Chain A
Amino acid sequence: MSTTTNGRTAAKAPGNDKLAEAATWLDDRVGLATLAKKQIRKVFPDHWSFMLGEIALWSFVVLLLTGTFLTLWFKPSMTEVTYNGSYDLLRGVKMSEAYESALHLSFDVRGGLLMRQIHHWAANLFIAAMLVHLMRIFLTGAFRKPRELNWVIGSLLLLLGTLEGFTGYSLPDDLLSGTGIRAADGFMLAVPVVGTYVSFFLFGGQFPGDDIIPRLFTAHILLLPGILLALIGAHMLLLVFHKHTQWPGPGRTNDNVVGYPLLPVYTAKAGGFFFIVFGATALMGGLFTINPVWKFGPYDPSQVTAGSQPDWYMGWPDGALRIMPNWETHLWGFTLSWNVFLPIIVLPGVVFTAVLLLPFLEAWITGDKREHHLLQRPRNAPSRTALLVALMTFYGILWEASGNDLIATHFHLNLNYITYFNRIMVFVGPVLAFIITRRWCISLQRADRDRLLHGYESGIIMRSPEGAYAEKHLPISVDEAYTLTARDRVELPPPPGEVDSNGVANRKARGEGLRWRVRNFWFSHDIEKPTRTELEEAHHHAEHELSVRDDGHQHLTESGYTGDYELDGTPADGHQFDGRHDISGDELRKGH
């Protein structure tokens, strides 16, 4: 794409015959001008939150670059060697070749430690950016038709990125990573019926054997990155095909996309952003130590360090593993390890499937089959926002649970009580989060409605002749009012009847009834945007007060008060409290 882009642009530049010739040569053979003429000036809208996915994309490129560098020295072998390199504390120690080459990279290859650390920081960033990007997509409704499949691809990227991270940090064969693989073996063994076979096939026999590092290496540098690359390609192609979503606003509708062209603005901005991401990870790699494998020593199955923890993104299933009650069933000579199988195999599978299905679940609830290209503010989909915050809370509690030992030691708390607390909170927390978030969103919707009807708080305090104070409200701009109202109206249909319009028993009634109840729950508390009539009434009221200003004299208004208009007669609630008017049933600040 980039060569074509350059070629075509250059071809248009006057007096640049050589490049024009080259572009013609290329187009004669691949005929990309038809595509290029549309895409070179493709419009992308601007918003900071659209950058999150870019962070993920660019950190993946950083991973490819630094990872390639690392493969030039890393030896994925479990053959035992005696270390004889530069790091004094481990000289003479027996270790696997994998660990030895990781030490060699860190101490004897100039820039090797830097590349290792950039690679590890970028990996953490990659997954973090994907997760935050996913939350942004969900909160703004960008997953709705026609983008459901891109949501699925994105979720797969998150899953595969996590596996890629695990296989990556397992490679150095240090004590910490070996402990992680050992635990992973325990997870496999807990799978009913086939677990032992899976373990023996993966490890080439008993744990640890000498096959696991080379096998993880192949998965890490070939299999998984290959699939990731293909999926990222598909993700980008769909993005180009659908065109980016945008926030509603004046002139920004569901049928257009308003923004800046790919060339030159986004070439510079997005291309420049690659250097920012690479530069930031390079600074981190230079200044912040990550995964100092030399401090852990080589893997020894009889040793472990206290506070052993996986990389951050593996934290939440690890937390589930820690707070799971110790259930195990023995039946007919077989063992079912619920204590491991449920939290580490079943739970991530269920959560991942649920994430994958979220767009389809919401579409089923709302029954919405339209194409959506305008984003929604999180407050304008209170139940959806609340659902995500509930999921985040679930994730957060489990993530926190994976640090229960560190919380206990750092805050001098009882480890057992932390665990009991988490066992309860992992169920109660999401429910509370759902309720609080939904009410919060609804309050914000109400605030928006007030702003539309009564204007904004100007910050100007008016004092009436009698000494009452009130803040003057002024109408918001048309642009803002349009933006605030550029959202769907909710109209709940009547409940489905037991019989259809022809009087025939509705066989789908039960399913439709459930769907109706869920939909009702989903939408019923939402605050509607004002109708035109409501807006006009509110404005008429304000205008009427304004009109008083013109004569500047005592004047009887509809609301039944007159006043002296020494304060320039500007509309401000509170004038009526001047002691000369009937104020029964009136409040200082009407309608606020």
Chain B
Amino acid sequence: MTTHQEPEPGNDEAVATTAHGTTPAVVGDPIADPGLPPHEPRPTDVDPHAERRAERQVATLFGLSTLFAILFVVSYFVFDVGKNPTVIAGYGASNVALGVTLGLALLLIGIGAIQWARKLMSDVEIVEMRHPASSSEQDRADAVAALDQGISDSGIARRPLLRNSLIGALAALGLPAVVALRDLGPLPRGDLAVTVWKKGMRLVNDVAGTPIKPSDVEIGQLINGEPAVFFEDKPNGEPKFEGTRLNDAKTKAAIIIVRMKPEDITPPKGRENWGVEGILCYSKICTHVGCPISLWEQQTHHLLCPCHQSTFDLADGGKVIFGPAARSLPQLPIMVDSEGYLVAQSDFTEPVGPSYWERG
């Protein structure tokens, strides 16, 4: 494409040298450059009173900044944090006082400096010439010559054995670099497909750990549940699961227990006996990217994920009815144990949570 250079009558020669790969500029197209307008003096340039006023103004700003810096220190010691933070409009007094004093101390320096520049420093514009980004032809040629000389001195082109063995050695160094990171984590060996649920494990309330009888669950109710093992202790009195191990297990084992009218439920084939008197149990972990789900609409039996709004129909086998999740919510088959509490019939029959490559 050919486009014309900007009109730059003042710098005709410069245009010709800097404009790479372009057609020569059309001088004065269509209007000649009138050149920089003359400098207009500011009030502070011509009026000594205005100048002194500006000086006082800037000094006042800097002085106030100092004052606020001192006030910051005062606030630091005056206002308590911790047990009884004095509250201003819902925020700790300490935070508000420190933020405002620090903010003003900083702002006033900034405003003062800029005011100084605008009012008192010279505002005569300076013209600096540009140079093309590229080096001169001579420099380029010299650089290429130096490079050639260096390469030729090294003999890398003449000694392919040296070159290739070096390339091989450097490439081989990549192996230790990668292998050394091997212990970042264990290999996934089907861990994502299993949870702590097993036959006979009680479903318990997720806050107190109390086991649940069918009569405890009202129609339309949703209970956030967990496996009883999370609330059990080892013989030595320590919890069986705690800390990050508890979180690891919870990530897959969290459940929701809902009760609907039995006639509303249309169980998928083979799952007719997975519920107890209209009580069904599903994984709480969204099959999209793994958020816990708990927005329950009891009229429609829909469960909505708060993260990305996937919606599942719990009366219809946890089927996805809206949103980005692709798979139904996994269902935990449940029954009643000898004491009348809800227990799992088995572990989940499919992996819970987000899909992954090996899931199948």
Cα distance, A485 to B349, chains bound together (Å): 73
- The answer to whether the Cβ of A174 comes within 8 Å of any Cβ in the partner chain is no
Contact residues in B for A206 (Cβ distance below 8 Å): 191-192, 248, 251
Does A506 have its Cβ within 8 Å of any Cβ on chain B? no
- Say whether B1 faces chain A, with CB atoms less than 8 Å apart: yes
Near A by CB (< 8 A), chain B positions 4-30 give 4-8, 10-11, 14-15, 18-22, 26, 28-30
Is B156 in the interface zone, CB < 8 Å from A?
no
Pairwise interchain contact A200-B188, C-beta atoms closer than 8 A: yes
Decide: A192 and B357 in contact? CB cutoff 8 A. Answer: yes
B126 within 8 A of A: yes
Q: Is B160 an interface residue (CB 8 A)?
A: no
In the assembled complex, the Cα of A267 lies from the Cα of B79 at a distance in Å of: 36
- Known A204-B185, A482-B33; contact A43-B127, beta-carbon cutoff 8 A: yes
Are B184's CB and A201's CB within 8 A? yes
Is B7 a contact of A486 with CB atoms below 8 Å?
yes
Chain A contact-residue range equals: 35 or more
User: Counting chain A CB atoms within 10 Å of each CB, which of B15, B83, B293 scores highest?
Assistant: B83
Distance in Å from the Cβ of B106 to the closest Cβ of chain A? Answer: 3
Give CA–CA (A79, B246) in the complex, Å: 12
Q: Which residue in chain A gives the minimum CB-CB distance to B189? A: A200
Contact of A322 among B76, B91, B324 (CB under 8 A): B324
Tell yes or no: A78 within 8 A of B by CB.
yes
B133 touches A241 (CB 8 A): yes
On whether the beta carbons of A488 and B4 are closer than 8 Å, the reply is yes
Q: In the complex, how many angstroms separate the beta carbon of B140 from the nearest chain A beta carbon?
A: 15
Nearest-Cβ distance from residue B243 to partner chain A, whole angstroms? 4
**B130 lies within 8 A of A183 (CB):** no
* Chain A residues closer than 8 Å to B294, beta-carbon distance: 304
Tell whether B99 is near chain A: CB-to-CB under 8 Å. yes
The answer, yes or no, to whether B229 is at the interface (CB within 8 Å) is no
Interface residues of A in 280-315 (CB under 8 A from B): 280-287, 289, 299-308
Measured between beta carbons, the chain B residues less than 8 angstroms from A107 are: 81-82, 85
A183–B36 CA distance with the chains assembled, in angstroms: 58
Given contacts A43-B126, A264-B117, A337-B355, whether A307 and B7 have CB atoms under 8 Å apart is no
**Is B99 a contact of A265 with CB atoms below 8 Å?**
no
Does A326 lie within 8 Å of B320, measured CB to CB? Answer: yes
Given contacts A80-B242, A272-B112, contact A258 B36 (CB under 8 A): yes
CB <8 Å contact, B185 and A201: yes
Does chain A have a CB within 8 A of B237? no
Give B57 Cβ to nearest chain A Cβ, in Å.
Answer: 14
Contacts of B90 in A (CB 8 A): 289
Contacts A80-B243, A326-B324, A335-B357 hold; do A182 and B290 have CB atoms under 8 A apart? yes
Interchain CB contact under 8 A, A339 and B324: yes
- Chain A residues, Cβ within 8 Å of B125: 258-260
A301-B292, A488-B4 are contacts. A41–B126 as well, Cβ < 8 Å? yes
Binds A, one of B145-153, B271-279, B306-314, B329-337: B306-314
Bound-complex Cα distance A535 to B7 (A): 15
Contact residues, B320-353 vs A (CB, 8 A): 320, 322-327, 353
Say whether B109 faces chain A, with CB atoms less than 8 Å apart: yes
- Whether A479 contacts B34 in the complex (CB less than 8 A), given A114-B99, A256-B128, comes out as yes
Contact A308 B307, beta carbon cutoff 8 Å:
yes
In the complex, B107 has a CB within 8 A of chain A: yes
Residue B359 interfacial (CB < 8 Å): yes
Task: Check: B162 CB closer than 8 A to any chain A CB.
Answer: no
Query: Are A335 and B359 closer than 8 Å at their CB atoms?
Result: yes
Whether B357 contacts A196 by the Cβ 8 Å rule is yes
In the complex, what distance in Å separates the CA atom of A192 from the CA atom of B288? Answer: 15
Q: Is the CB–CB distance between A86 and B292 below 8 Å?
A: no
Within 8 Å CB of B29, what residues of A?
485, 489, 531-532
Asked if residues A265 and B34 are in contact (CB atoms below 8 Å), the reply is no
The answer to whether A202 and B291 have CB atoms under 8 Å apart is: no
Instruction: Tell me if A529 is interfacial: C-beta within 8 Å of chain B.
Output: yes
Q: From A405, which residue of chain B is reached at the shortest CB distance?
A: B309
Contact between chains at B11 and A286 (CB < 8 Å): no
Q: Which residue of B lies closest to A344 (CB)?
A: B289
B35 located at the interface, meaning its Cβ lies under 8 Å from any Cβ of chain A in the complex? yes
Q: Which residue of B lies closest to A336 (CB)?
A: B357
Among A246-254, A424-432, A544-552, the one that faces the other chain is A246-254
Q: Does A240 contact B (CB under 8 A)?
A: no
A302 CB contacts on chain B under 8 angstroms: 206, 224, 226, 250-251, 254, 284, 292
Q: Offer 16 A-B interface pairs, CB within 8 angstroms, sorted by A.
A: A110-B98, A113-B81, A195-B357, A200-B188, A211-B185, A269-B113, A274-B110, A276-B111, A299-B247, A301-B285, A303-B292, A308-B307, A416-B322, A488-B5, A489-B26, A492-B1
Interface pairs A-B: 6 shortest CB-CB:
A286-B99, A186-B289, A272-B113, A251-B36, A275-B110, A279-B107
